[in-house]
Amino acid sequence: MSNICSKLEKCPIYMGILKDKVITSKAYRRFYCESDNHVNCKRYLVSEAVGKCPPNLLPNDTRSVDEIISKIS
C-alpha cells in the first residue's frame, strides 16, 4: 500500500488557495499528501465521507469532520 494520498494529483488546493504559497504548499504536500498522514487530512476525510470537499479547506483545519460536513450539506 502506498503512503501517497490517492487524491493528490487532483487536489484543488494546489491550484487554488495555495497556488502562490510555494513554501506552504510544499510543506502541506510533504507532511500530508506524500506520507501516511494523508489519513489525518481533513480534505481526505471529508471527501471520503461525502464524496466532495470545499475547495478552500486546508488539510489541518481545526474543525471536526462532522462540523465541516454540516456546513457543506
Task: List, for residues 17-26, the tens digit of each pLDDT value.
Answer: 999 999 999 9
Is the Cβ–Cβ distance between 38 and 44 less than 8 Å?
Answer: yes
pLDDT at 25: 92
Q: Which residue, among 53, 65, 67, 62, has the nearest Cα to 17 in the 3D structure?
A: 53
- Residue 45 above 70 pLDDT? yes
pLDDT at 3: 87
What number is the average pLDDT over the span 35-60? 94
Is the Cβ–Cβ distance between 73 and 50 less than 8 Å?
Answer: yes
- Residue 2 above 80 pLDDT? no
- Residue 72 above 70 pLDDT? yes
